[in-house]
Amino acid sequence: MRKQIAAANWKMNLTFQQGEQLLNNILAAPTTLKENQLVIFSVPFPYLTMAQQKLNGKKNMFVAAQNCFNKKNGAYTGEVSIEMLQSIGIEYVVLGHSERREYFNENNQFISEKINICLENNITPIFCCGEPLQIRETNTQNEFVGKQLTESLFHLSPEQILKTIIAYEPIWAIGTGKTASNQQAQEMHAFIRQQIAIKYGNAIANEISILYGGSVKANNAKEIFSETDVDGGLVGGASLIANDFVTIINALK
């Protein structure tokens, strides 16, 4: 059965103390996770260990890093390697977020190298893809996202792709309050799953979690998550508000 996932993406927000408080508040609220439901907190690097300590012993709750570098180690001042993350017990890393693509010029090839280094070290990548507004306006989003999948993921072995989580995040919906309609989300998720099926077969395609991201809020999560091919969300703004994120967790199917 596919995993249903509520993933928080704190981005570059909150002080350490605010992050601690937010986790305390979320963990104090009643959430009952089913066997196939996961919660992942993608927090800034300096907070990884703190978040892990808070989640210690919590079933189906994990911490993710928001990035890693594509090299094993060496003279790369300011970068964080997969080995470093692994050595503190991190199991998930968000890669290819549109903000990294836009502000740090990350391209499909570079992201594919990061995906490789994660999987070689048994860390699950949460691979983000999604089109900008001008692509949506010309109705070429399938070609655009298809290329992102082909260039960053489709060199993987069946075992490796099975370990990967995909997040579809239309850039025009991120932080804008403008969510994709349920139908737009479902259509793209079905397209992504179909591309995986063409490359790896139906059985594998049906096992891969595809999250939706882009203005998921407490009041729309249930509706979006109810779509057949939507397996939860990658949530920015609303993951910074304890009550809202708890509602989003409880909206998982």
Q: Which of 15, 92, 89 is nearest to 53 (CA)?
A: 89
**How many residues bind ligand PGA, per CB under 6 A?**
13
Smallest distance, ligand PGA to C-beta of residue 236, A: 2
Tokens for 242, please give them: 């304890």
- In the complex with ligand PGA, which residue's Cβ is closer, 112 or 215? 215
Q: Do residues 113 and 67 lie in contact, with contact meaning Cβ atoms separated by under 8 Å?
A: no
213 binds ligand PGA (CB under 6 A): yes
The Cα 164–Cα 179 span in angstroms is 24
Residue bearing tokens 């395609």: 205
Q: Do residues 63 and 90 lie in contact, with contact meaning Cβ atoms separated by under 8 Å?
A: yes
Smallest distance, ligand PGA to C-beta of residue 79, A: 22
Question: Is residue 95 helix, strand or coil?
Answer: strand
Q: Show the DSSP H helices in 158-230 as ranges.
A: 158-162, 182-200, 202-205, 221-225
Q: Do residues 218 and 174 lie in contact, with contact meaning Cβ atoms separated by under 8 Å?
A: no
- Please identify which residue in 22, 117, 234, 251 interacts with ligand PGA, judged by CB under 6 A: 234
- In the complex with ligand PGA, which residue's Cβ is closer, 169 or 205? 169
Which residue in the shown chain puts its C-beta closest to ligand PGA? 236
237 binds ligand PGA (CB under 6 A): yes
- In the complex with ligand PGA, which residue's Cβ is closer, 150 or 220? 220
9 binds ligand PGA (CB under 6 A): yes
Binding mask 132-171 for ligand PGA (x = CB under 6 A): -------------------------------------x--
Smallest distance, ligand PGA to C-beta of residue 127, A: 12
Q: Where are the beta strands (DSSP E) in the chain?
A: 4-9, 37-42, 61-65, 92-95, 124-129, 165-168, 210-213, 232-235
User: Helix 48-55 and helix 16-28: axis angle, to 10°?
Assistant: 20
236 binds ligand PGA (CB under 6 A): yes
Residue bearing tokens 């594998």: 204
The string over 70-87, giving b where at least 16 C-beta atoms fall within 10 Å of a residue's C-beta and e elsewhere, is beeeeeeeeebbbebbbe
- In the complex with ligand PGA, which residue's Cβ is closer, 171 or 205? 171
- Please identify which residue in 64, 214, 221, 246 interacts with ligand PGA, judged by CB under 6 A: 214
- In the complex with ligand PGA, which residue's Cβ is closer, 123 or 240? 240
Catalytically active residues are 97, 169
Residues between 167 and 196 with contacts to ligand PGA, criterion CB under 6 A: 169, 174-175
Distances (CA, A) of 108 to 39, 45, 101: 27, 23, 9
Residues between 17 and 76 with contacts to ligand PGA, criterion CB under 6 A: none
Kindly list the residues in this chain that would bind ligand PGA in the complex (CB under 6 A).
9, 169, 174-175, 213-216, 234-238
